[in-house]
Structure 1
Amino acid sequence: MTASKVFALSGSLRADSHNTALLRAAQAFDPAGMEIEIYDGLREIPPYDYDLDHPGLRPAVVEELRRAVSAADGLLVATPEFNYSVPGVLKNALDWLSTDWSRTEGVPLRHKPTAIMGAAPGSFGSVRAQLALRQIFLCTDSDVVAKPELVAFRSHERFDGEGTLVDEGTIGILKDLLTALQDKIDAARA
Structure 2
Amino acid sequence: MSARVLAFVGSLRAASHNRQLAETAVKLSPEGLDIDLYEGIADVPFYNEDIDNPENLPATVAKLREAAASAEAFLLFTPEYNGTMPAVLKNVIDWLSRPYGAGSMTGKPVVVVGTAFGQYGGVWAHDEARKAAGIAGGAVLEDLKLAIPGSVTRFADTHPADDAEVVTLVTDLLDKLSAQLKTSA
Same fold (TM over 0.5): yes
CA RMSD of aligned residues (A): 1.8
Q: CA deviation at 1:158?
A: 4.1
| 1:183 aligned onto 2:164 | no
d(CA) in 2 for partners of 1:34 and 1:145?
A: 16
Aligned length: 185
Which has more strand, going by share of residues?
2
d(CA) in 2 for partners of 1:146 and 1:170?
A: 20
d(CA) in 1 for partners of 2:65 and 2:167?
A: 30
The answer on whether the counterparts of 2:97 and 2:137 sit within 8 Å (CA) in structure 1 is no
> Residue by residue, what CA displacement relative to the aligned partner does 1:28-83 show, whole Å, maximum 9, x if unpaired?
12234422111120110111101111234310100110010110111111000011
| Pick aligned residue for 2:142 from 146, 149, 152 | 146
d(CA) in 2 for partners of 1:8 and 1:27?
A: 9
Q: How does 1:151-190 map to 2 (within 5 A)?
A: 151-159=147-155, 161=157, 163-189=159-185
Partner of 2:64 in structure 1?
A: 65
Residue range with higher mean Cα deviation, 128-137 or 149-158:
149-158
Q: CA deviation at 1:156?
A: 3.4
TM-score by length of 2: 0.91
Secondary structure of the residue aligned to 1:146 is strand
The answer on whether the counterparts of 1:148 and 1:173 sit within 8 Å (CA) in structure 2 is no
Secondary structure of the residue aligned to 2:147 is strand
Partner of 2:104 in structure 1?
A: 108
Partner of 1:27 in structure 2?
A: 26
Q: CA deviation at 1:159?
A: 3.4
> Residue by residue, what CA displacement relative to the aligned partner does 1:81-127 show, whole Å, maximum 9, x if unpaired?
011110011111111110115x7xx3111111111101112212110
Question: Is the alpha carbon distance of 1:156 and 1:79 closer, same or farther for their aligned partners in structure 2, counting shifts above 3 Å?
Answer: same
- Code of the aligned partner of 1:20: R
d(CA) in 2 for partners of 1:158 and 1:29?
A: 20
Overall identity of the aligned pairs, in %: 34
Partner of 2:81 in structure 1?
A: 82
The answer on whether the counterparts of 2:97 and 2:136 sit within 8 Å (CA) in structure 1 is yes
| 1:98 aligned onto 2:97 | yes
TM-score by length of 1: 0.89
d(CA) in 1 for partners of 2:174 and 2:52?
A: 32
Secondary structure of the residue aligned to 2:111 is strand
- Unpaired runs of 5+ in structure 2? none
